[in-house]
Structure 1
Amino acid sequence: MFDLRQLRYFVEVAETLSFTQAAQRLHISQPPLSQQIQALEADLGVRLLDRNRRRVALTEPGRIFLIEAKAILARAESARTVVAEAAAGFTGQLRLAYAVSVSFHRALPETLLRFSHAAPGVSLHLVEMPTGAQYDAILSGQIDVGLLRAPPEGIANARQLNVEVIDEEPLVVALPSGHRLATRDSVTMAELARERFVAPPRSSAATLIDRLNLLAGKAKFRLNIRQEAQQIPSLLPLVAAGMGVALVPASLRAVSLDKVAFVNIDDPEACLLLAVASRVDNTSPVLDSFLRTVREARAKLGLG
């Protein structure tokens, strides 16, 4: 059966119609070139070239085979490229989950934009998922990587996880614009002790609720949650309506509502982790490429 080398040799001869020029282009001597063409013709059982001392010409079978040989060589080169890109993590698929509260963090669009440019051949599947569910999905192989809000404390098989911190994002208090504290640069948690809060249910935002309870406990009060909303961004209209105040990630300042003011919390523990997590034994080149992109985005944004 003929091989790719013989096809390349034949194409060079067919295009130059000269064994001498073809040998020079291929950087080989003329006798081995002639031998390979003869072997190709013998394998096919047809004469591809008419040649004498004065000229070389394609036979009709040779003209048809030239078209096929070029197509085979192009396909082989395409296969080589596809394999190389797959090995480099530039093709394939990636299943990415992210916590709802990450939606407005600048690391998410920066990472996705960079990754789409670096690996346009990768099919990216995105899904919103709470932090705890993300760890379970990563360990079970349901997703490849997650952008989440808490370390894997209390997670079974945590040693199988690779977790890299991207940012420690501050929490801010969202207040009705007419609130007595709305014009302040910062407030303490103790100053919020008598406030009614709006918050997501713990089932959808356990990390945030646990952090709120921690901060309230340090200030020696219990949260008075008047109203719940399933999504963290949905808290802001409730704040605007005067139903309460809310502690939210600082990135939600991007949601501009006329009747909502954002004020810093004067407590170093008023923050939420942002991390990227994956399985230690996931050796996918696509995942490796994505994690590199996360680190590049983190460096550009000055995070971590």
Structure 2
Amino acid sequence: MFDFRQLRYFIAVAEELSFTRAAIRLHISQPPLSQQIQALERDLGVSLLERSKRKVALTEPGQVFLEQARQILAQAELARSRTAAVAAGHSGQLRLAYTVSVSFHPALPRALLRHRQAAPEVSIQLCEMYTEPQFAALLANEIDVGFVRDEPRHIQDARQLQLRVLDREPLLLALPSSHPLATREELRMADVADEAFVTQPRELAATLHDRLRKLAGEAGFQPRIVQQAQQINGLLALVAAGLGLALVPATMRVVHLAGVSYVPLADHSAHLLLAVASRIGDPSPVLAQFLATVEQSAAGPGG
């Protein structure tokens, strides 16, 4: 069976219609070139070239084989380049999950934009998912990477997952704009011990729910939760309605809702983790490329 070298040799002769010019183009001597073309013709059982002292011309089978030879080499180059792209993490698929609150943080769009520029052929499947379900999905190989808000709660999970911390985002209190404390430059949880709170259900958003209870406990009280909303941005509508205060990440400031004011918390523990989680030892080149992109975007201006 012919090989790629013989195909390249034949194409050069067919295009130059001269063994001498083809040999110069290929940087080889003429005798090996002639021998390879003769071997190719013997293998195919046809004459590809008409040779005379004055000229070289393609036979009819030679014209057909020239077109096929070009296609074979082009397909081989495509296979090589695509294989190299996958090995380098520049092609393939990435399944990425993120919590709703992360969609307001610049780390996610910044990483996605930079990765799209670095690896435009990678298909990214995005899905919203709370932190604890993300850990379960990672361990079940249902997603490849996740933007999470907490560390794994179980030791056996932590041993199989790795986290790259991107931010420890400050937490704010969202208050009705008519509230007497809404104009303060900062607050402590002790200042709102007697206030009503609105939260997400713990089974959906355990991280923020537990952080509220932790901060309140450190301030010496249990939060009085009077209403719940499924999504974090839904809490703000409840705040605007005057039903209570809400604990939210600082990037929620970008949500400008009439009747809602944001005041920073000065308590030491008033922050929320933002990290990228993935499986330890995952060999995926696409994942490695994405994690490198995340680190670059976090280290760059505004990171």
TM-score (norm 2): 0.97
State the one-letter code of the partner of 2:164.
E
Question: Stretches of 4+ moved more than 4 A in 1?
Answer: none
CA contact (8 A) 2:95 2:145 kept: yes
2:139 equivalent in structure 1: 139
State the one-letter code of the partner of 1:205.
A
Q: Are 1:158 and 2:158 matched, yes or no?
A: yes
1:47 equivalent in structure 2: 47
For residues 17-59 of structure 1, what are the alpha-carbon distances to aligned partners after superposition, in whole Å with 9 as ceiling and x for unaligned?
A: 1111111111111111111111111111111111122111111
Partners of 1:291 and 1:139 lie apart in 2 by 18
Shift in Å, 1:300: 1.9
CA contact (8 A) 2:135 2:157 kept: no
Shift in Å, 1:258: 2.0
Shift in Å, 1:301: 4.9
Distance 1:102 1:150, change over 3 A: same
2:293 equivalent in structure 1: 293
Partners of 1:295 and 1:238 lie apart in 2 by 37
Shift in Å, 1:251: 0.8
Shift in Å, 1:70: 0.4
1:2 equivalent in structure 2: 2
Shift in Å, 1:153: 3.4
2:69 equivalent in structure 1: 69
2:225 equivalent in structure 1: 225
1:29 equivalent in structure 2: 29
2:240 equivalent in structure 1: 240
Q: Secondary structure of 2:221's partner?
A: coil
Shift in Å, 1:155: 4.2
Partners of 2:295 and 2:13 lie apart in 1 by 50
Partners of 2:276 and 2:225 lie apart in 1 by 30
Q: Are 1:172 and 2:172 matched, yes or no?
A: yes
Mind listing any 5+ residue stretches in structure 1 that lack a counterpart? none
1:253 equivalent in structure 2: 253
For residues 75-132 of structure 1, what are the alpha-carbon distances to aligned partners after superposition, in whole Å with 9 as ceiling and x for unaligned?
A: 0000000000000001111111111221111101111111122112112111111111
CA contact (8 A) 1:107 1:301 kept: no
Equivalences, count: 303
Alignment of 1:77-96 (within 5 A): 77-96=77-96
State the one-letter code of the partner of 2:250.
A
2:181 equivalent in structure 1: 181
2:14 equivalent in structure 1: 14
Partners of 2:135 and 2:194 lie apart in 1 by 36
Partners of 1:157 and 1:232 lie apart in 2 by 26
Partners of 2:192 and 2:25 lie apart in 1 by 80
User: Kindly, what percent of the aligned residue pairs are identical?
Assistant: 61
Partners of 2:201 and 2:102 lie apart in 1 by 17
Q: Secondary structure of 1:187's partner?
A: coil
Q: Are 1:112 and 2:112 matched, yes or no?
A: yes
Q: Secondary structure of 1:277's partner?
A: strand
Mind listing any 5+ residue stretches in structure 2 that lack a counterpart? none
Shift in Å, 1:302: 4.5
TM-score (norm 1): 0.97
1:128 equivalent in structure 2: 128
Q: Secondary structure of 1:165's partner?
A: strand
Q: Secondary structure of 2:156's partner?
A: coil
CA contact (8 A) 2:94 2:124 kept: yes
1:199 equivalent in structure 2: 199
CA contact (8 A) 1:135 1:152 kept: yes
2:270 equivalent in structure 1: 270
State the one-letter code of the partner of 1:160.
Q
For residues 224-264 of structure 1, what are the alpha-carbon distances to aligned partners after superposition, in whole Å with 9 as ceiling and x for unaligned?
A: 11110011111111111111110101111111112111110
Partners of 1:155 and 1:204 lie apart in 2 by 21
Q: Secondary structure of 1:122's partner?
A: strand
CA contact (8 A) 1:19 1:30 kept: yes
Q: Secondary structure of 2:159's partner?
A: helix
Q: Secondary structure of 1:267's partner?
A: coil
Q: Secondary structure of 1:103's partner?
A: helix
Partners of 2:155 and 2:55 lie apart in 1 by 77
CA contact (8 A) 2:171 2:247 kept: yes
Partners of 2:136 and 2:274 lie apart in 1 by 17
For residues 147-183 of structure 1, what are the alpha-carbon distances to aligned partners after superposition, in whole Å with 9 as ceiling and x for unaligned?
A: 1011123242421211110110111111111111111
